[in-house]
């Protein structure tokens, strides 16, 4: 089958894609937060990092920091139901949240990021990432998703681990997030 698209049709398609991207960006709000003039530079940097991570998706609800790195809390708006294949959405959103951190001014200072996710219960999934390898993979096709699929360590509640292992037996999981499923075999069980 040979499909040809004329120049006018291609222009309309590209314009539509740009408009859709622009609308999506506008819905997320401004790239940088509005800050008072009396805020210190260090605080401005932190607030910008926090804003950019949370800006990507409302499911990234909270960001905290300590001496070691950042903790990002992932809380989907609707509860996950038993049997739902939740890993792809989580990995996509987490990957873009990590990209927002990496791209924010001062974001590269944080070399370790822990994601505490609510899947079946609060903090029943914990993913820990070493950020220094992010730049090497982010420019590849699906680079953010691939990086999110390769956390340094994973911990799941028993129920979440049982579900993700079951999901990883399916063909879709093996095709779309095989790296993550390989890592699931190394995951530890933790109590939330």
- 78-128: per-residue pLDDT in tens? 766 655 678 888 999 999 999 999 999 999 999 999 999 988 888 889 999
State residue 139's pLDDT score: 79
What is the C-alpha to C-alpha distance for residues 24 and 14, in angstroms, rounded to an integer? 15
pTM: predicted TM-score of the whole model, two decimal places = 0.78
Give the range with max mean pLDDT: 5-14, 26-35, 106-115.
Answer: 106-115
CA angle 60/62/68 to nearest 5° reads 110
What is the C-alpha to C-alpha distance for residues 53 and 49, in angstroms, rounded to an integer? 6
- State the pLDDT confidence band at 26, using cuts at 50, 70 and 90: very low
State residue 31's pLDDT score: 73
State residue 167's pLDDT score: 85
């Amino acid at each position: 089958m040979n499909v040809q698209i004329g120049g006018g049709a291609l222009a309309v398609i590209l314009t539509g894609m740009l408009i859709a991207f622009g609308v999506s960006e506008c819905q997320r709000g401004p790239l940088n937060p509005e800050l008072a003039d009396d805020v210190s530079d260090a605080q401005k940097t932190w607030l910008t990092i926090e804003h950019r991570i949370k800006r990507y998706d409302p499911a990234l609800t909270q960001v905290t920091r300590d001496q070691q790195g950042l903790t990002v809390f992932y809380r989907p708006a609707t509860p996950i139901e038993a049997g739902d294949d939740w890993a792809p959405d989580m990995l996509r959103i987490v990957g873009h949240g990590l990209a927002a951190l990496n791209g924010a001014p001062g974001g590269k200072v944080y070399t370790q990021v822990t994601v505490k996710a609510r899947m079946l219960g609060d903090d029943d999934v914990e993913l820990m990432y070493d950020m220094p390898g992010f730049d090497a993979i982010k420019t590849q096709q699906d680079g953010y998703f691939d990086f999110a699929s390769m956390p340094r360590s994973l911990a799941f509640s028993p129920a979440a681990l049982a579900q993700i292992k079951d999901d990883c037996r399916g063909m879709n999981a093996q095709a779309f997030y095989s790296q993550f499923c390989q890592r699931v075999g190394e995951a530890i069980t933790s109590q939330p």
